[in-house]
């Protein structure tokens, strides 16, 4: 692996951006975004004694967001650059933001950025925080925004954290009215959460509002989603009706597809499949069943 010596760009705090707001006050939109991004793409490492560092490495094209983090941070930090060969290209240039201050690392750790490997263990903050800014940070780091190969708008997130995945599904459900189930894929054992068409437009507009802190390229992509309109001949798929515990109990009690379909206002096929899943343990039985 070939690598050139990095260039360090030290920076002191920028009071014009941080103002009097406490460092990492997650009610502040910029800090909420920054923390979501760091949870997904940052790395806290410990050294001997009280030594350690927090680093974020991105493609050089995204160095602008690292400079914004630097300005928001009232501690000395540096941005370095390096060029190296990877499995995908012979020459990849990246930018690395490094923050060593113990006080800053302690604050980040207390808020929920673990030391070491963290992809499965991170969770949404347990303190008050700006929700859409936090989720935009997570999506900027580990998600995608744009158009599918067929030209449909989409917003997606890939995460190994069940807590983060569940929170996005809950929050986006309130914004879009679309429910998503949470299931790890078999290949990578991660969650791939996808919103398309009108749901993606609603979510993208909500998360990427004017003048918000974000990656320029993803903000531009989100702003372009509104240019899509559903073709006249494109069918609108109805929202899937989820089974409730009370419906499951009635289905089990009746133990008859036709009778349950009439009673519940569902199709016999859906009642048959649901009953099979309950009887075989594919779906957990409701309480008191």
The pLDDT, as a whole number, for residue 226 is 94
pLDDT tops 60 at residue 9: no
pLDDT tops 90 at residue 5: no
What mean pLDDT comes out for the span 11-29? 68
pLDDT tops 60 at residue 254: yes
Burial grade of 135 (CB within 10 A; 0-12, 13-18, 19 or more): buried
136-159 per-residue burial string, b: 16 or more CB within 10 A, e: under 16: bbbbbbbbebbbeeeebbbbbbbb
What mean pLDDT comes out for the span 84-97? 82
Alpha helices, DSSP H, located in 112-161: 131-142
The pLDDT, as a whole number, for residue 93 is 92
Least confident of 10-14, 84-88, 135-139, 285-289: 10-14
DSSP 69: H
The pLDDT, as a whole number, for residue 234 is 84
The pLDDT, as a whole number, for residue 288 is 77
Least confident of 7-11, 161-165, 224-228: 7-11
Specify the residue for token string 């990578």. Answer: 188
Alpha helices, DSSP H, located in 177-235: 197-207, 216-224
The pLDDT, as a whole number, for residue 3 is 39
Span 160-194, pLDDT tens digits: 999 999 999 999 999 998 988 888 998 899 999 99
The pLDDT, as a whole number, for residue 20 is 59
pLDDT tops 80 at residue 67: yes
Mean pLDDT, the chain, rounded, equals 89
Span 117-161, pLDDT tens digits: 888 999 999 999 999 999 999 999 999 999 999 999 999 999 999
Task: Grade residue 16 by pLDDT with cuts at 50, 70 and 90.
Answer: very low
Two tokens at 107? 């604050």
Segment holding 38, helix H or strand E: helix 29-41
pLDDT tops 60 at residue 260: yes
> What Å distances lie between residue 90 and 85, 86, 244, CA to CA?
4, 6, 54
The pLDDT, as a whole number, for residue 223 is 97
Furthest CA-CA distance within the chain: 73
The pLDDT, as a whole number, for residue 155 is 98
Q: What percent of the chain has pLDDT over 90?
A: 67
The pLDDT, as a whole number, for residue 18 is 44
pLDDT tops 50 at residue 35: yes
If one compares 28 and 273, the residue with the highest pLDDT of the two is 28
The pLDDT, as a whole number, for residue 239 is 60
The pLDDT, as a whole number, for residue 95 is 97
Task: Grade residue 14 by pLDDT with cuts at 50, 70 and 90.
Answer: very low
């Amino acid at each position: 692996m070939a690598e050139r010596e990095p260039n360090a760009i030290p920076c002191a705090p920028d009071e014009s951006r941080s103002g009097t707001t406490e460092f990492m006050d997650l009610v502040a939109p910029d800090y909420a975004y920054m923390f979501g991004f760091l949870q997904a793409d940052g790395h806290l490492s410990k050294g001997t004694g009280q030594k350690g560092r927090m680093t974020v490495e991105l493609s050089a094209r995204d160095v602008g967001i690292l400079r914004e983090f630097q300005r928001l941070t009232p501690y000395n930090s540096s941005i370095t650059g390096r060029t190296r060969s990877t499995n995908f290209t012979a020459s990849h240039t990246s930018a690395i933001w490094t923050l060593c201050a113990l006080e800053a690392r302690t604050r980040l750790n207390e808020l929920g950025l673990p030391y070491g490997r963290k992809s499965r263990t991170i969770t949404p903050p347990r303190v008050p925080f700006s929700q859409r800014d936090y989720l935009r940070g997570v999506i900027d780091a580990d998600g995608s925004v744009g158009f599918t190969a067929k030209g449909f708008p989409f917003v997606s997130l890939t995460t190994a954290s069940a807590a983060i995945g569940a929170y996005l599904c809950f929050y986006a459900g309130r914004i879009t009215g679309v429910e998503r189930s949470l299931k790890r894929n078999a290949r990578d054992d991660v969650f791939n959460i996808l919103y398309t068409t009108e749901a993606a437009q609603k979510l993208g507009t909500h998360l990427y509002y004017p003048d918000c802190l974000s990656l320029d390229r993803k903000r531009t992509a989100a702003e372009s989603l509104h240019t899509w309109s559903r073709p006249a001949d494109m069918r609108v798929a109805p929202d899937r009706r989820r089974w409730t515990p009370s419906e499951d109990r009635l289905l089990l009690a009746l133990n008859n597809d036709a009778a349950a379909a009439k009673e519940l206002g569902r199709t016999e096929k859906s009642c048959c499949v649901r009953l099979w899943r309950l009887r075989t343990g594919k779906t957990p039985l409701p309480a008191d069943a």
